[in-house]
Chain A
Amino acid sequence: MKQKYKEYVTPRGLKVKVLESEEIGKEEWDRGEEVGFTIDDLRKLVKYARMKGWI
């Protein structure tokens, strides 16, 4: 099956190409259901990566 992609250039100039042909999970995601990963989890991940000097 041919895949479709969206392409962006971010404000910092990164060129990004993202798969858009499959919508699996987006409805639940939009409703905020069944997803364990939260903004606080992302915050912890970023804190850890910064502590390690990775980002």
Chain B
Amino acid sequence: MAASLSVAFNRKFSSLDVQDIFGFDYVDGPVFTANTSETLLASITIPAGMLTERLSIIVHGVLKYTTWNSYACNCRGELKIYVNGTEVKSRIIGMSQYTCGNALTGYVGRTIFYSTTDLDFTSDITVEVKGLILNGVNQGYGIGFDSIIIGGK
């Protein structure tokens, strides 16, 4: 039977939505950084023995942009997932050329999945999500996430 260990970070969804609909724990968010160096956005430690055979991680990553001219069209950021200090997955999120315009604010979302059975489940497991901006020329941009779901068996 799957264990429900999930955590959602999202201001748009209320804690009651998340808890009642999905049975998840809820932590306030979203979480963004505008740093161009790798920055820890969130760390989640799963106590030893809570999972026994599989760890799954789902991150809904978000790039926030504000354009002031066409130079902002190439705004890109990267999200990385680490498990016990080792990078296991990364995804670059970039804005579309079609979203260029003056003083236009918006978001690009991408979902990142990772699942593994190759872990020592008798010890604590630490999941980290880190982010950095790869290219951005205007104020108001950021890379981050609105939801992280940690699950498994």
A49 and B56 in contact (CB under 8 A), knowing A14-B150, A19-B42, A37-B146?
Answer: yes
User: How many angstroms from the CA of A54 to the CA of B73 in the assembled complex?
Assistant: 35
Contact B113 A29 (CB under 8 A): no
Chain B residues touching A, majority SS: strand
Question: Which residues of chain B come closer than 8 Å to A23, judged between CB atoms?
Answer: 32
Interface string of B55-70 (1 = CB under 8 A from A): 0101010101000000
A37 and B152 in contact (CB under 8 A), knowing A12-B25, A24-B140?
Answer: no
Interface size on B, residues (CB 8 A): 59
B101 within 8 Å of A by Cβ? no
User: How many angstroms from the CA of A1 to the CA of B39 in the assembled complex?
Assistant: 10
Contact A45 B111 (CB under 8 A): yes
Question: Which residues of chain A come closer than 8 Å to B50, judged between CB atoms?
Answer: 12-13
B31 within 8 Å of A by Cβ? yes
In residues 2-19 of chain B, which contact A (Cβ within 8 Å)? 2, 4-13, 17
Question: Which residues of chain B come closer than 8 Å to A32, judged between CB atoms?
Answer: 12
User: How many angstroms from the CA of A28 to the CA of B69 in the assembled complex?
Assistant: 21
Contact B147 A42 (CB under 8 A): yes
Q: Chain A nearest CB: distance from B55 CB in Å?
A: 9
User: How many angstroms from the CA of A25 to the CA of B28 in the assembled complex?
Assistant: 13
Question: Which residues of chain B come closer than 8 Å to A49, judged between CB atoms?
Answer: 56, 58, 113, 149, 151
B138 within 8 Å of A by Cβ? no
Closest A residue to B147 by CB, please name it: A42
Contact A24 B105 (CB under 8 A): no
Contact B27 A8 (CB under 8 A): yes
Contact A18 B109 (CB under 8 A): no
4 closest Cβ contacts across the A-B interface?
Answer: A55-B151, A10-B25, A24-B142, A54-B56
